[in-house]
Amino acid sequence: MTTASTTTASTTTGSDAREPVRYGVIGTGMMGIEHIENIGHIDGAVVTAIADPYRPSRESARMVAGAEHPVVDFEHHRDLIDSGRCDAVVIATPNHTHADVLLDVLASDLHVLVEKPLCTTVADCRRVVEAAERGPTGRVVWMGLEYRYMPPTRALLDELAAGTAGRVRMVAIREHRYPFLHKVGNWNRFTETTGGTLVEKCCHFFDLMNLVVGSRPVRVTASGAQDVNHLDEEYDGRRPDMLDNAFVIVDYEGGERGMLDLCMFAEASKNEQELVVTGDEGKLEAMVTEGVLRVGRREDGLHVISEHAVADPSIKYLGHHHGSSYLEHLAFLDAIRTGAPAAVTLTDGLWSVAVGQAAHRSIEEGRPVEIAELVG
């Protein structure tokens, strides 16, 4: 059996004699602060600037960054981009602002990591992908889909690469979790500003499906609703419209199938996330919250299953995502240092949004939706 690999940037382990890569963080709400915390635990990286129009968020971010490395704060992201204080930026602003902020960053020569989802619509995703393709050679443009880096998921991917499961035929992902948290301005309560639950939250899982299957999605069939969460909330006369549960089936061009089981009123769950991949030779199960990988091979006969705890001792900061954001930042920094291409691209982000947007259309119109309707 293979073991979980750890993609650790060679330039970030131990002490780094070179000048640190200077980061600007655009958007300093919960995820922006998460990125600041992660960068602060990495040798050879330092946050030098932040930008956010909301003063309390900037003040919180400055406190997290600490006094050891003075941080300049800006109200507008363009001022940060033009400041000359950064080599790379992280975009962690509300979803509906990603396209405009990213286009401004892409007009510079700064390296960039943009948080998920890439944008709230496929049309905007295409705009930013095209802008990135026109950018300077050697600039790293990284899509922030950190669930790829969760240790149990990475262990599962290693087993797939080793051929343990054979040819992938089915992927099933379950997320049973708590409702959406409160964010500044309550922007995450509305489809208009998030792209909808199946884009905002589930682009992570559709990205994993696409990655595991290794071919393009062609058709999406979904059922979902807002049945429990946020029903008694109202903001400026508007009621939240975010789905809190759904089933989504994705058909792939090679005949593979993926399924997502989402419930956001299921706090009483042992595992918040489960990823199951079944091939023609075996079955792999990643219990993300427990940190467990299960492996079963058909040739071993009935009920012969091995189970292994998975942990990555190189992770210096677990954060909100089991250390995956830390590992993602190591890989991003390594690409900056070495000139390697981004391991997770804006095109990956586009396809994950396409599946989520197709799922919403399927629910709204009560029919299967061809991905070609959105992507062409």
Are 263 and 176 in contact by the 8 Å Cβ rule? The answer is yes
Residue that terminates a domain, selected from 120, 146, 172: 146
Domains of the chain: total = 2
Tokens of 286: 């990643």
Say which amino acid occupies 33: I
Alpha helices in 166-240 (DSSP H): 191-194, 197-200, 203-213
Task: Tell me how far apart the alpha carbons of residues 47 and 65 are, in angstroms, rounded to a whole number.
Answer: 7
Tokens of 354: 């396409």
| Confidence band, pLDDT 50/70/90 cuts, at residue 25 | very high
**What is the domain-level CATH number for residue 363?**
3.30.360.10
Q: Is residue 1 pLDDT above 70, yes or no?
A: no
Q: Is residue 299 pLDDT above 70, yes or no?
A: yes
- The tens digit of pLDDT for each residue in 211-259 reads 999 999 999 999 999 999 999 999 999 999 999 999 999 999 999 999 9
Residue that terminates a domain, selected from 92, 126, 146: 146
> What angle is formed at CA 319 by the lines to CA 65 and CA 141, rounded to 5 degrees?
75
Residue 335 has a pLDDT of 98
- The tens digit of pLDDT for each residue in 165-200 reads 999 999 999 999 999 999 999 999 999 999 999 999
Are 39 and 161 in the same domain?
no
Angle between helices 30-40 and 55-65 (to 10 degrees): 20
Q: What is the pTM of this model?
A: 0.93
- The set of residues, in sequence order, having a beta carbon less than 8 Å from that of 23 and lying 6+ positions away, is 39, 45, 46, 47, 48, 49, 86, 87, 88, 89, 90
Are 118 and 223 in the same domain?
no
Say which amino acid occupies 109: D
Name the percent of the chain lying above pLDDT 90. 90
Are 100 and 206 in the same domain?
no
SS3 label, residue 141: strand
Q: What is the arithmetic mean of pLDDT over 116-123?
A: 98
Task: Tell me how far apart the alpha carbons of residues 95 and 113 are, in angstroms, rounded to a whole number.
Answer: 14
SS3 label, residue 45: strand
Give the residue among 334, 321, 331 at the shortest CA–CA distance from 152.
321
In terms of phi and psi (left: phi > 0; alpha: psi -120 to 50; beta: otherwise), the region of 137 is: beta
| Confidence band, pLDDT 50/70/90 cuts, at residue 66 | confident
Q: Is residue 12 pLDDT above 90, yes or no?
A: no
Task: Quote the DSSP letter at residue 202.
Answer: T
| Confidence band, pLDDT 50/70/90 cuts, at residue 201 | very high
Residue 376 has a pLDDT of 84
Q: What is the arithmetic mean of pLDDT over 300-325?
A: 91
Are 204 and 225 in the same domain?
yes
Are 295 and 306 in contact by the 8 Å Cβ rule? The answer is yes
- On whether residue 15 sits in a domain, the answer given is no
Backbone φ, ψ for residue 321 (5° rounding): -130, 40
Are 235 and 358 in the same domain?
yes
Q: Is residue 68 pLDDT above 80, yes or no?
A: no
Residue 374 has a pLDDT of 97
Task: Tell me how far apart the alpha carbons of residues 195 and 42 are, in angstroms, rounded to a whole number.
Answer: 32
Q: Is residue 2 pLDDT above 70, yes or no?
A: no
Are 130 and 211 in the same domain?
no
- The tens digit of pLDDT for each residue in 38-52 reads 999 999 999 999 999
Q: Buried b vs exposed e over 44-79: b needs ≥16 C-beta within 10 Å?
A: bbbbbbbbbeeeebbebbbebbeeeeebebbeebee
Task: Quote the DSSP letter at residue 188.
Answer: G
Q: Is residue 60 pLDDT above 70, yes or no?
A: yes
**What is the domain-level CATH number for residue 131?**
3.40.50.720
Residue 17 has a pLDDT of 52
Task: Quote the DSSP letter at residue 236.
Answer: T
- The tens digit of pLDDT for each residue in 336-368 reads 999 999 999 999 999 999 999 999 999 999 999
- On whether residue 227 sits in a domain, the answer given is yes
- On whether residue 369 sits in a domain, the answer given is yes
Give the residue among 162, 145, 150, 185 at the shortest CA–CA distance from 54.
185
Residue 13 has a pLDDT of 34
Residue 3 has a pLDDT of 37
Are 194 and 135 in the same domain?
no
Tokens of 127: 């705009």
- On whether residue 334 sits in a domain, the answer given is no
Average pLDDT, the chain: 93
Residue that terminates a domain, selected from 117, 146, 175: 146
- The set of residues, in sequence order, having a beta carbon less than 8 Å from that of 155 and lying 6+ positions away, is 3, 4, 286, 293, 308, 310
Are 198 and 96 in the same domain?
no
Q: Which residue has the higher pLDDT, 16 or 270?
A: 270
- How many CB atoms neighbour CB 98 within 10 A? 25
Are 171 and 159 in the same domain?
yes
| Confidence band, pLDDT 50/70/90 cuts, at residue 305 | confident
Task: Tell me how far apart the alpha carbons of residues 237 and 231 are, in angstroms, rounded to a whole number.
Answer: 13
Are 315 and 210 in the same domain?
yes
**What residue numbers bound the domain in which 300 lies?**
147-322+343-375
Are 354 and 221 in the same domain?
yes
Are 292 and 356 in the same domain?
yes
- The tens digit of pLDDT for each residue in 131-161 reads 999 999 899 999 999 999 999 999 999 999 9
Residue 37 has a pLDDT of 96
- The tens digit of pLDDT for each residue in 155-168 reads 999 999 999 999 99
- On whether residue 347 sits in a domain, the answer given is yes
Residue 14 has a pLDDT of 33
Are 310 and 120 in contact by the 8 Å Cβ rule? The answer is no
Name the percent of the chain lying above pLDDT 70. 95
